[in-house]
Every structure is written in C-alpha cells, then in structure tokens.
Amino acid sequence: MRIGITLGDPAGVGGELTLLLLRELGPDAPVTMFGSMAQLARAAAALGMTPPLPFRPLPGDATDRPEAYAGGPTLIEAAALAPADTQPGVATPAGGHAQLRYLSLAVQAAKAGRVQAIVTCPIHKAGISQVMGSRFTGATELLARLAGLRSGDVAMAFTGEKVRTAVVTTHLALAEVPKAVKAERVERVCRLEVEHLRELGFARPRLVVAGLNPHAGEDGLFGNEEHETIAPVVGALQSQFKQGGLQATISGPLPADTAYRRHLDGKFDAVIAMYHDQAMLPCRLLAFGETVNVTLGLPFVRTSPDHGTAYDIAGTGRVDPRGMVAAWKLATRLARARSSAPRP
C-alpha cells in the first residue's frame, strides 16, 4: 500500500508537516510526495534538518515510473519553484499553480492505482482563485472535478475518536446556506456518512441530523427548513434503512447543540451538520488536531489535517504535526478497509 502526499501551499506549513511526518514514519515509509524540492528545502531549514533529507527526489516526468511508487519516501518534482515562491506567508501566482499541479498529479496517480490514498497538506484558497480566474471554494470540490465527479457527489466530513461529523454544505456564505439545503443533498450526505462509518468498523451506524435553525426551527417559529426539507428526508431514510436491512439508524432533526451533546455521550456515531461552522466548532473546541478532514464519495481515499496554511507560523519550525499524523493514520486505515472489502 502506498500513500500520496501533496505538499499544499509553498508559503504555508505543508513542507514542515510532511518532513515531521516522515521523521516519525521512518526511512521505509511507503510515501510518494507531489511537491517541490525548494519547498522541502525551506521546510528542512526551518526544522533544523540537514542533508541528506529522508526521501529520493525524482523529476516531474517520473509520474508514470514504477520507481516513484516503490521503496521508501520519494518526491516527484511537480513544480520548479524559485526561492521567492516559498517565502513563508507570502502567496504567489507560481505557488497557486503549484498547488493545483500537486493535486492533479496525485489524483492521476490514485485513479491509476499507483497510490491507494492521498493526504493533502493545507492549500491557500485565495491564491488558487487568483490563478484560476474564478472563485475556488476548496479542495473537496476540486478533487471531485479531477476525479470526473460533480461537486454534489462528494461531501466534506471530519473524523476523529471524539467527534465524527459530515456537512451538507461546504465553503459557502452563511446567507446562501438555506437555499443550498436541499432534500437530495441531505440524503446524499447521510448515505455517504453511513458508508464511511462502515469503513471505520461501525456495524450498525447511528446517525443524528442537526437542524439548520436555532432549536431546529422550534416548530417553524425560527424557520421552515427542518419541517419542509430535513425531517422528510430523515423519515424516508428511516424507512429505507429498515426495509433494506442496512442495519443503520437515523434520527433528527435535532437542535445542533443537542445533536453534538448526544453524539459525545455515545448515543450517536456521527452528526450530519447543515453548514461548515456548525460542524467545525465542536471539532475545534473538543478535538483540534485529532479530527481529520475526509472527502466522502471519491473513488479513492483523501484525507487532510483539520487546519489551514498557518501563515503566522510558517517557516518557524513551530508547527504541530498531530493533525498530519492523524490524517496519515486515517488514510492508511481507510485504504486498508477498502482493499479488504468484498468486490461488488
């Protein structure tokens, strides 16, 4: 089994995270990195690492070569960056192009079966938006497109030992969330999370769906989305799960605070949140550095640390690698689960 790692924003902490991960995994780690030697050299200097660095560098045209995916850690030089493009905390157009290139090559490798999972280091959305000439909302949607899927086919989830949650809408202005909470989308995310929980070893997944509005709408007093959209989906899935013998249960919609409280008390295995911050608040407050960003619905495993580029500490050597280590461990776990699952 081999794991691909994309180094993320050259001006961020991706290189430092990756080198700290390699230090923990050791010289035989089955890792193929998609990145830049300049980026890793800057990261090594920040961490006080001296040559030789713990990987084999390969040229950018090595993406189809077997040696890029064999033995210990390798680096495919996916972008030739100047030192200015790796200056900590300073986004550049070259850095934006590099991030896109890393992700594109990693997805190609995953689709070809050369890597069984991808761990993506944090990216800079504004920098990528500039080079794309359009609004870039996040890696979740980009990975779906690169995999030949629609953005609605996939979902953002956060998985840890304490908190497990998936999100109906992703990076979207709060004012736009209500109209994006559609029945088919709620159902899709619920089904994806059930599949994800099964891969994690939950034989009888128990979902709870959070409401969109305060007090889950309070019988329509604070909004009708619960009554008109969310509750009918939950009711339909309850019947389908029971009739289909899927050994899964679903409850809700409950007020978000109640849903997460009962999840933490062990009454539910995961919460379906309606919007980004509804899901992120419990993750940040209760399990920061432990929950992992997972993209559900892709034909390959993708995980990422649950934090951003950390421009404020990039280049200082002070980055905490726990989130990266957790992303690696979960990617490995999910890839193994998929490899051992019965073929349809």
The CA distances from residue 66 to 63, 115, 181, 189, in Å, are 8, 11, 45, 36
Give residue 134's pLDDT: 66
CB burial of 105-141 (b: ≥16 within 10 Å; e: otherwise) equals bbbbbbeeebbbbbbbbbbbbebbebbeeeebebbbb
d(CA 317, CA 13): 9
CA angle at residue 83 from 6 to 10, to 5 degrees? Answer: 25
Break the chain into its structural domains and give their ranges.
Answer: 1-154+297-344, 155-294
pLDDT computed for residue 193 by the predictor: 98
Which pTM does this prediction carry? 0.94
Domain formed by 155-294, architecture: 3-Layer(aba) Sandwich (3.40)
Residue with tokens 């090595």: 62
Same fold for the pair 1-154+297-344 and 155-294: yes
DSSP readout, 102-147?
HHHHHHHHHHTTS-SEEEE----HHHHHHHHTS----HHHHHHHHT
pLDDT of residue 171: 87
- What pLDDT does 28 receive? 94
pLDDT of residue 198: 96
* CATH superfamily label, 1-154+297-344: Isopropylmalate Dehydrogenase (3.40.718.10)
| pLDDT for res 221 | 80
- Residue 273, strand partner residues: 167
- The pLDDT, as a whole number, for residue 235 is 96
- The C-alpha atoms of residue 221 and residue 232 are separated, in whole angstroms, by 18
* Cβ proximity of 122 and 308 under 8 Å: yes
Residue 171 has phi, psi (to 5 degrees) of: -85, 95
Could you tell me if 4 and 143 are in contact, meaning their C-beta atoms sit under 8 angstroms apart? no
Q: What is the rounded CA–CA span in Å between residue 317 and residue 16? A: 7
Q: Which pLDDT score is estimated for 344?
A: 53
Q: Given strand 56-58, what is the order of strands in its sheet?
A: 56-58, 74-77, 31-35, 3-6, 117-120, 301-305, 292-296, 155-159, 164-167, 270-273, 206-210, 249-254
Q: pLDDT of the chain along its 344 residues, tens only? A: 999 999 999 999 999 999 999 999 999 999 999 999 999 999 999 999 988 888 999 999 999 999 999 999 999 999 999 988 999 999 999 999 999 999 999 999 999 999 999 999 999 988 888 787 766 678 888 899 999 999 999 999 999 999 999 999 988 999 999 999 999 999 999 999 999 999 999 999 999 999 999 998 778 888 899 999 999 999 999 999 988 767 899 999 999 999 999 999 999 999 999 999 999 999 999 988 899 999 999 999 999 998 999 999 999 999 999 999 999 999 999 999 998 876 65
247: alpha, beta or left? (left if phi > 0; alpha if psi -120 to 50): left
Q: Write down the residue that tokens 């200015």 correspond to.
A: 84
pLDDT of residue 192: 98
User: Which structure tokens are listed for 155?
Assistant: 């979902």
Predicted local distance difference test score (pLDDT) of residue 309: 95
pLDDT at position 128 is: 85
